[in-house]
């Protein structure tokens, strides 16, 4: 017969663990996470258990098991490598009507410890007939599906409320955070940017309202005021709204404006940071934005206006004097003026530059040049937004890595 599965609420209840080896080391943390008051009986313990004992989280009796140790326990774990000891522990527990898990013999065990996992408030427990490896494999598959949203786990009784500002990462749907994907799977309404990982939108349930908030450069665009109004309106209807953006909502993403609009309307806001393209795209192209002995700093600059535009607040002379890496966003259309300003204010015209289009996506491509040639190279290559511009000697580091790789290939 299969077991009757039950979730034990162990907070404040005594649990006895007999044995201090690797099995006990695996089981004690989960018991502590459930709030149990754990007592370990064993002549010796592993370093990991010793650390928990030193922190006062576990009570340790440094001796062999004795009859009477099961007194007051709600649950017993017999985890020694001595079958006779485990048998004695199980017999005492059985006589006192206390559930006991034997680590050495599933058939003689009154209870089994399942392979467990947790995603937010969802707990997953798998027994698989007492086969721990099989149970763990099934557990991992279910947990992964819950984390990435491929299993519909939207709440019914306690739905999220308000607005979640979710940074979707640089473009590859696999680079959104686990938390961001979980919230996306809970959404009633999704307000998505043009640069959000749009492949994830195909996974939304059919009843989710999808609002396209794309801002196409020099083309169609939904005003920020309209977006703010949409977030507030849908949240006031009792719907859970996810504002899905590319990169990070607070790195040139106007997330601050949307957070303020919701706060002024009394709408609760949850912020989920995203992997900003300013760091992720150079990395995807093999370029570190900092490198020991090359660059100790990097600057992220929005170039939505040219350096000579009166509306620009960027200290271009200061950036030109800096030895740090410059990561330029929204710069492709104004690249000639940027290069001219940097050279004029002190950067060498031979400073290496890399421009990466569609970073992290299958269509990613890159052009490498210098400040004096980059504008012409980018124009000739037909590079278009979205693209990231990297200025600095770290570009050579990336080229060096590629040369080493090429030399080692058969």
CA 76, 82, 83, 85 torsion: positive or negative? negative
Encode 213-248: b = buried (16+ Cβ within 10 Å), e = exposed: beeeeeeeebeeeebbebbbebbeeebbbbbbbbbb
End-to-end CA, the chain: 57
| C-alpha separations of 13 from 29, 74, 144 in Å | 15, 6, 31
Chain centre to alpha carbon of residue 283: 17
Those residues whose C-beta lies under 8 Å from the C-beta of residue 305, and which sit 6 or more positions away, are 311, 312, 334
Report the distance separating Cα 116 and Cα 279, nearest Å.
35
| C-alpha separations of 241 from 60, 153, 163, 235, 245 in Å | 49, 16, 5, 6, 13
Q: Which of 50, 215, 233, 345 is catalytic?
A: 215
Catalytic residue check, 96: no
- Are 192 and 212 a contacting pair, CB within 8 Å? yes
- Are 46 and 28 a contacting pair, CB within 8 Å? no
Q: Which of 69, 193, 248, 358 is catalytic?
A: 193
Three-class DSSP category at 326: strand
Both tokens of 171, joined, read 């473009």
The values of phi and psi at residue 99, to 5°, are -65, 135
Q: List active site positions.
A: 193, 215
């Amino acid at each position: 017969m299969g077991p009757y599965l039950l979730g034990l609420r162990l907070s404040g209840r005594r649990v006895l663990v007999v044995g201090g080896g690797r099995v006990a080391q695996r089981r004690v943390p989960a018991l502590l996470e459930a709030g149990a008051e754990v007592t370990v009986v064993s002549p010796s313990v592993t370093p990991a258990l010793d650390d928990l004992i030193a922190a006062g989280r576990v009570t340790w009796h440094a001796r062999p098991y004795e009859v009477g140790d099961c007194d007051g326990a709600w649950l017993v774990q017999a985890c020694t490598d001595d079958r006779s000891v485990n048998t004695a522990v199980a017999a005492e527990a059985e006589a006192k009507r206390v559930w006991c898990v034997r680590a050495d013999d599933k058939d003689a065990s009154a209870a089994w410890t399942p392979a467990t996992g947790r995603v937010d408030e969802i707990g997953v427990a798998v027994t698989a007939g007492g086969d721990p490896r099989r149970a763990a494999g099934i557990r991992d598959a279910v947990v992964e599906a819950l984390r990435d949203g491929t299993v519909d786990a939207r709440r019914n009784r306690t739905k999220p409320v308000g607005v979640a500002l979710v940074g979707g990462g640089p473009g590859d749907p696999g680079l959104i955070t686990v938390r961001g994907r979980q919230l996306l799977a809970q959404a009633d309404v999704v307000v998505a940017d043009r640069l959000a990982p749009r492949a994830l939108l195909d996974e939304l349930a059919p009843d989710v309202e999808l609002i396209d908030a794309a801002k196409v450069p020099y083309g169609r665009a939904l005003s920020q005021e309209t977006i703010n109004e949409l977030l507030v309106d849908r949240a006031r209807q009792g719907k859970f709204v996810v504002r899905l953006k590319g990169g990070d909502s607070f790195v040139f993403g106007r997330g601050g404006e949307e957070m303020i609009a919701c706060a002024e309307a009394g709408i609760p806001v949850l912020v989920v940071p995203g992997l900003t393209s300013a760091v992720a795209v150079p990395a995807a192209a093999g370029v570190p934005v900092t490198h020991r002995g090359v660059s100790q700093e990097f600057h992220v600059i929005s170039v939505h206006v040219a350096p000579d535009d009166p509306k620009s607040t960027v200290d271009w002379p200061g950036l030109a004097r800096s030895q740090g890496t410059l990561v330029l966003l929204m710069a492709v259309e104004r690249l000639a003026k940027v290069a001219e300003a940097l050279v004029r204010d002190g950067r060498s015209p031979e400073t290496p530059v890399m421009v990466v289009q569609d970073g992290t996506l299958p269509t990613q491509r890159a052009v490498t040049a210098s400040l004096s040639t980059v504008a012409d190279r980018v124009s000739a290559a037909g590079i278009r937004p979205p693209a990231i511009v990297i200025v600095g000697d770290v570009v050579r580091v990336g080229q060096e890595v590629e040369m080493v790789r090429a030399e080692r290939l058969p």
